A and B are shown apart, each in its own frame.
Chain A
Amino acid sequence: MTTASAPVLEIRDLSVSFPTETGTVSAVDGVSLDLAAGEIVGMVGESGCGKSVTAMSIAGLLPGSARVTGSVRLDGTQLVGARESALRRVRGREIAYIFQEPMTSLNPVLTVGRQIGEVLQVHERMSRRAARARAVELLTLVGIPSAAQRVDNYPHQLSGGMRQRVMIAMAVACGPKVLVADEPTTALDVTVQAGILQVLRDLRDRLGTSVLIITHDLGVIADIADRVVVMYAGRVVERAPVDDLFAHPRHRYTAGLLSASPQPGRHAGTDRLTEIPGLVPVLASQPDACTFADRCPAADEQCRAAAPPLEDVGGTDHVAACWHPCLTAPTAAQEANR
C-alpha cells in the first residue's frame, strides 16, 4: 500500500501541551502524519516521546486540561476542536482504539459479550439481543475458539491474549476506518504477540481498515508496518517505508534505536548492544534546536542553534529531521565496527 490515494486520516502540525503544577509541559510538537486506506503505520519511540498522547488526541480522548492545536482530519472532517457529541459519533465507529493492558482495559464486572455489544448498541442502534449475536461473530473473526460460550465470560476468565482479541473484536465491531493500537502487544508473551499481529493484519486485509500501531518494540514494527514514524521528545524525527528505515536509518536517533535492539545475526557473538546515553527530556517549551542534540554523538553548534526541518533524505518518501544524517552505514553499531 502507498500513500498515493487520498489519506483517510490526515494529521497536520499537531501540538499538545499540559499545564502542570510546575508549569506547562509540551508533549507533542508539530506532528504531521498521513494514514492511507488499508495502510499500517508504525509509530515508534522511547517512553515519554509523545506517542500515546498523539494517539489519544486523534479522537479527542485527552483530559480536558490538555491544550491541543493543529489539525486532525478524518476523511476531510476536522476533529480538533470538534463538539463532544460529534467526537462521540466518531469514537468506536470510525476511529477505534486498542490499548496496552487488556486486563485493566476491559471492565471486570461486565461480560465480554456485553462490552462488545455496547459499541453496536450505541452506534448501530442494535438491540441487546442482536448485539450479542454479532459479538459472537466478532469473537470468531478475531480467532477466539467456541465464541458462543466465551461471549458470556468475564474478562478474568480469559487469558491475556484472549482479552486482547476481545479488545480487537470490540474495536472492529463497527468496521472503523482507522484503528489506533497503542502498544497492543507489550503486555503479552512473544508467541501470543505474533497471533495478535496476525489478527490485525487479517483485519486490514479483510476490512480495509487503516492501522496506526504505536510501540517501542522495533520487532513489532518490522513485522507488521508498511511505513514507520519515529518520534523523539514530541517531534517526528524520521519517517520512511519500513524496509528503507531498517536498512538505511538516517536520523541519529533512529540509528541509535536500531543498534540498541537485538537483531538476528548482527549481534551474535561478541558484539554488544549499544545504548543511547541519557533520557528523553521533559520539555516546558519546544526549543529552536534539535532536542536529541544532548544525547547525539554527532551534535555540534548548529544542532543546538536551530531545529532541523523534516527533509527528504533520499529514497521514496523518506524524510528525517537531522542536520547530520547518517550517510551510508545502516546502524551506528556497524559504523563503529568497520
Chain B
Amino acid sequence: MARYLLTRAWQSALTLLLSTIVVFVGVRALPGDPALALAGEDRSPEALEAIRRHYGLDQPLPVQFAQYVERMAQGDFGVSIRTGTPVSSMLTTALPVTVELSVLAILIAAALGVGAGVLAAVRRGRPAEWLANGLALIGLSVPHFWLGLLAILYLSVATGLFPASGFVPILEDPVDNLHHIVLPAVILGTGLAAIIMRQTRSAMLDSLSSDYVRTAKAKGLRPRAVITRHALRNSLIVVVTVVGLQLGGLISGAVVTEQIFGLPGFGKMTIDAVFQRDYPVIQAVVLLTAAAYIVINFFVDLLYSVIDPRIRVTGDPA
C-alpha cells in the first residue's frame, strides 16, 4: 500500500511539472503582445522596451521559466499585468467560490445520480425507471448554460426565490451564501448527475444479477441490505471512475456557470484574464486547474483502494 501511494505521488509530481512547462510555453505561443496591451496610448518603442524589462519579458524563455518556477515555489504567482494586484491574492478571493460551487455540485450530482440510478435498477421496467432515464437524457442533452438562463428567468427574475447573481462569502453569512450558490450548483451538477445515474443504473443491474447477490438473498438478508451492502458497494467502483473522469468537464462547466450567475470565482477570473492576455493570471489559473485535476485523480485512486480491496494488493505484491 505504501509503495503504491509513493508511486502515485511521484507520478503526480511529474505530471505537474510537465503541465507547468506546457502552460508556460502555451501562453507564450498565444498571438498578441502583452506589452502592447499594457502600453495603452503611449506605444513608443522606448515605452514598450521599459515595460518588457519591468516584467522580465525581455529575458530568454528558459530564464523566464526558471524565474517563474522559482517564484511559484515561494507561492508567488506574479502580479496581474492588468490590475497590478498579486495573482495570489486574486486567487484567495476567487478560489473559495469555485471550490464551494464545485464541491456542492458534486455532492448534489452524486446524491441525485446514485439515488436515481439505484432506483432505476431496482425498479427495472417500471415507471420509476422510465422517469429516471428520461430525466437523465434531459440532463445530458440540455446545455447547462441554457438551463442556467432558464433557472434565472423562472426561479430568480419571475418568482424571486433565488438571487439572480452575486455572492456572499460563507464566513460572512452562511445562510445567504447557500442561498446564492445552491442554484448555480444544481445547474452545474445536472450533467454530472445524469452521467452518474446512468453508470450507477447499469452497474447496479450487473451486480443485482450477480452470484454474490444471489448468495446474499439466500442468506435471508433484507432487500435493503442486499442492495446497499452488496450490490451498491460493488457498483460504486464504476461510479467513482466515471466521476473522476468527468471532473475536468466540471471545472470547465464551472467557468461557464460562474459567468452566467455572476459569481466572482475562478472561472470569471479566467475569462477576464484570457481577454486581457494577462499572462501571469492565465498561467496561474491553468496551472492550478491542472494541479486540481492531478490531485483529484490521486484521491480518486485512493478512494478505489478503499472501496475495492482487490486494488490494494495490486501495487503491493507482498
Binding site for B on A (CB under 8 A): 59, 61, 88-93, 96-97, 99, 101, 104-111, 118-119, 122-123, 154, 156-157, 167, 170
When chains A and B are docked, how far (Å) is the Cα of A61 from the Cα of B307? 28
Q: What distance in Å separates the Cβ of B270 from its nearest Cβ neighbour in chain A?
A: 40
CB-based closest 7 A-B pairs: A92-B220, A91-B220, A92-B219, A104-B211, A97-B218, A107-B212, A105-B211
Interface residues of B in 218-274 (CB under 8 A from A): 218-222, 225, 229-230, 233-234, 237
> Can you list 15 A-B contacts (CB < 8 A)?
A59-B218, A61-B214, A91-B217, A97-B218, A99-B211, A104-B210, A106-B215, A107-B212, A107-B230, A107-B233, A110-B229, A111-B309, A122-B220, A156-B309, A157-B313
When chains A and B are docked, how far (Å) is the Cα of A321 from the Cα of B22? 80
When chains A and B are docked, how far (Å) is the Cα of A89 from the Cα of B221? 9
Q: Does B216 contact A (CB under 8 A)?
A: yes
Q: Does B176 contact A (CB under 8 A)?
A: no
Q: What distance in Å separates the Cβ of A309 from its nearest Cβ neighbour in chain B?
A: 34
CB closest residue in chain B, given A106 = B212
In the complex with contacts A107-B230, A108-B309, A90-B220 CB distance below 8 A: yes
- Chain B: interface residue total (CB-CB under 8 A): 23
When chains A and B are docked, how far (Å) is the Cα of A108 from the Cα of B311? 11
B218 contacts A96, C-beta separation under 8 Å? yes
Interface residues of B in 15-66 (CB under 8 A from A): none
Q: Does B70 contact A (CB under 8 A)?
A: no
Question: What residues on A are CB-neighbors of B216 within 8 Å?
Answer: 107, 118
In the complex with contacts A101-B211, A154-B310, A156-B310, A107-B234 CB distance below 8 A: yes
Partner of B218, one of A61, A109, A110, A111: A61
CB-based A-B contact count at 8 angstroms:
79
A108 contacts B220, C-beta separation under 8 Å? no
CB closest residue in chain B, given A104 = B211
Q: What distance in Å separates the Cβ of B238 from its nearest Cβ neighbour in chain A?
A: 12
A99 contacts B215, C-beta separation under 8 Å? yes
A107-B234, A109-B234, A118-B216 given; 13 more Cβ-contact pairs under 8 Å: A59-B218, A61-B218, A90-B220, A91-B218, A92-B220, A96-B219, A97-B215, A105-B211, A110-B230, A118-B221, A122-B220, A154-B309, A157-B313
B215 contacts A88, C-beta separation under 8 Å? no
CB closest residue in chain A, given B215 = A105
When chains A and B are docked, how far (Å) is the Cα of A101 from the Cα of B237? 22
When chains A and B are docked, how far (Å) is the Cα of A202 from the Cα of B77? 73
In the complex with contacts A109-B308, A154-B309, A118-B219 CB distance below 8 A: yes
When chains A and B are docked, how far (Å) is the Cα of A122 from the Cα of B222? 9
Q: What distance in Å separates the Cβ of B190 from its nearest Cβ neighbour in chain A?
A: 30
B211 contacts A91, C-beta separation under 8 Å? no
When chains A and B are docked, how far (Å) is the Cα of A280 from the Cα of B214? 26
CB closest residue in chain B, given A96 = B218
Q: What distance in Å separates the Cβ of A9 from its nearest Cβ neighbour in chain B?
A: 16
Partner of A99, one of B214, B234, B308, B310: B214
Question: What residues on B are CB-neighbors of A96 within 8 Å?
Answer: 218-219
Question: What residues on A are CB-neighbors of B219 within 8 Å?
Answer: 91-92, 96, 118-119, 122, 170
Question: What residues on B are CB-neighbors of A92 within 8 Å?
Answer: 218-221
